[in-house]
Amino acid sequence: TSLYNNLCRIMAESLNAVVVSVEYRLVPEVCFPEQFHDALRATKHFLQPDVLAKYSVDPSRIAISGDSAGGNLAAAVCQQLSKDEHLTIRPKLQALIYPVLQAFDFNTPSYQQNMNMPVLPRYVMINYWIDYFNGNYDLAHSLLINNHTALDVGQALSFRGRLNWTSLLPSSFKKNYKPVIQTTGKAEIIQEIPALLDVRAVPLLADNETLQLQPKTYILTCENDVLRDDGVMYAKRLENAGVEVTLDHFDDCFHGCMIFTVWPTDFSAGVQTRNSYIKWLDENL
């Protein structure tokens, strides 16, 4: 869109960098894992020495970045690249803007706090996940109350410790919210949509061995966003794994704000987050 074209142009000019925007295929034309494969193929193609040379790119100064669903793909691609033993050129950085990273718990404090918050209320985010997985909207309520990750759902048990927000979030984010953990749930949801626990779709569930391999990381989060805690938990897990992480949190901003910098939606939140993001890239690339 013109809004993303504008952002990429400003990034290229501000950073004196080549910016490649991957036009991965969208729902409903294709569903997971095709978007992931599109992004991974494009990235691996670009990382070839002859392609980098064609665009005069310094192979030691490459970052992978994305916002929202693009942040999901950027994180998943970085994880996949880190495990590819045949790769000779690797990204120096990853920069994730209010990324969507998990479909395990739709009752994190930020999901509870911002459940009706524009531009991304909780029910819309759940429907986006169902669209991505080509699932059935009839499952939305069960997902909303975490029936898919109840204590009796064996497939989810091994992942629970990787997404324990009571230990991963600071008290200022936890506030007085309580975990929503069902004792008895519906294992058939995972059987019907196994991608709910596939790390290529939900990078926050990756194991520590994978997280240790990730590049220096920037994560931007907004207070008025159901996805706030996805980013904060990923930052903490990466930090615990020994990765250098910058968590850039904005108390007065909302999901998607960075692209709103052009009239008539030229918001201060957009300019503020964009400038902070570009400043970090400029200092670290």
* Residue 18: cis peptide before it, omega within 30 degrees of 0: no
Diameter over CA atoms, the chain: 56
Tell me whether residue 68 is one of the annotated catalytic residues.
yes
Catalytic member of 21, 60, 65, 68: 68
Nearest-angstrom CA–CA distance, 280 and 285: 8
- Radius of gyration in angstroms for the set of CA atoms belonging to the chain, rounded to a whole number: 18
- Find the angle CA(133)-CA(139)-CA(145) to the nearest 5 degrees: 110
Strands 261-262, 216-224: pairing kind: unpaired
Question: Which sequence positions are flagged as catalytic?
Answer: 68
